[in-house]
Structure 1
Amino acid sequence: MKTYNFNAQILFIINKEKRFLHNKEIAIAMLDHFNNKFDIIQLQNKISIVLNRKLPQFEELIKYKYSNAYKDTVWGKKEWLDKNGIPKSLYMYKIR
């Protein structure tokens, strides 16, 4: 698995869903593409590591925490925030 392809898949999923996503939601969408090479937890961890590296291909993405719990972190685009830095209703994340 090439890192670029992995990163491109993350971006594709976020762009396709057009809303803020939890790592688990991204992992579920990617799981079928890896033919059981990873379980869901491994994939979530890999996604988290990659997104937190602030790589150039992710410069348009931001991390948004809607509570103090780490699990309440979602990823989306800067332009999906309103003037107060809160996700616009059209791009709102799903609460677990």
Structure 2
Amino acid sequence: MRFAIRTASLGVAIILAASVVVAQAQATFPTLDIRVPVPPRPFVAGGAVHLAYEIHLTNFSGMATRLDSVEVRDTARPEEALLASFEGTQFDGALCCSCG
């Protein structure tokens, strides 16, 4: 995932919104393990600094899960405004899945 920010030294928490795709009338949210194992990697493209994040998701529920959006927040001030938010076609273009 890439996005421009002013500094590449922020600690960032990734908050993932996931929805469950189930064939039942009652939808439940799965148990997900979400990790950012390494700090984001900065790079310059198009005259701006971008960050590439590695996010590991593990679905322990056994149910199909769809990731709809990602919010990026400063871990020092998570209650403050978002640093970035991705959803819809913008979210689809920011993803690179290495899953099998």
- Shorter-chain TM range is under 0.3
Specify which structure has the higher proportion of strand.
2
- Structure showing greater Rg: 2
Query: Structure 2 length normalisation: TM-score?
Result: 0.26
Query: Structure 1 length normalisation: TM-score?
Result: 0.27
